[in-house]
Amino acid sequence: MFGWLFGGGGDVKTFNPGELRDLLREKDSACLLVDVREDREWAGGRIPGAVHAPLSRFEQAAAGLPKDKPLVFYCASGMRSKTALRRARDMGLIVEGHLGGGLMNWARYDYPVVR
């Protein structure tokens, strides 16, 4: 889907909130959810099970992410997660996709947010 944006290497998926919720509910979900919002945003609430890798320090934070597990990114509205996708690919990480519309879209469906 984003081949033009990410320069080949396979397509990534833009998940809608329901698709992401279903993926996260799967017992054997092999994906890791990564929140790229900044510290104050993270402290205000996040999707359960997410790990934090703020975009402003992404390369440093992402160094601790698994290299053998597909990653799904999200931010507040979906723009920063697209940047994180490019950076993650450049670092050799496996990118599955991102949450379209970000946490704002997730919250519209009244899906869980932990604080």
31 is catalytic: no
d(CA 60, CA 51): 14
* Long-range Cβ pairs for the range 1-9 (8 Å, 24+): 2/82, 2/85, 5/82, 5/86, 6/85, 6/86, 6/89, 6/95, 7/89, 9/89
Please enumerate in sequence order all residues whose Cβ is within 8 A of that of 44, keeping only pairs 6 or more positions apart, or say none.
Answer: 115
Residue from 20, 47, 55, 75 carrying the catalytic annotation: 75
**Residue 105 one-letter amino acid:** N
- Catalytic (active-site) positions: 75
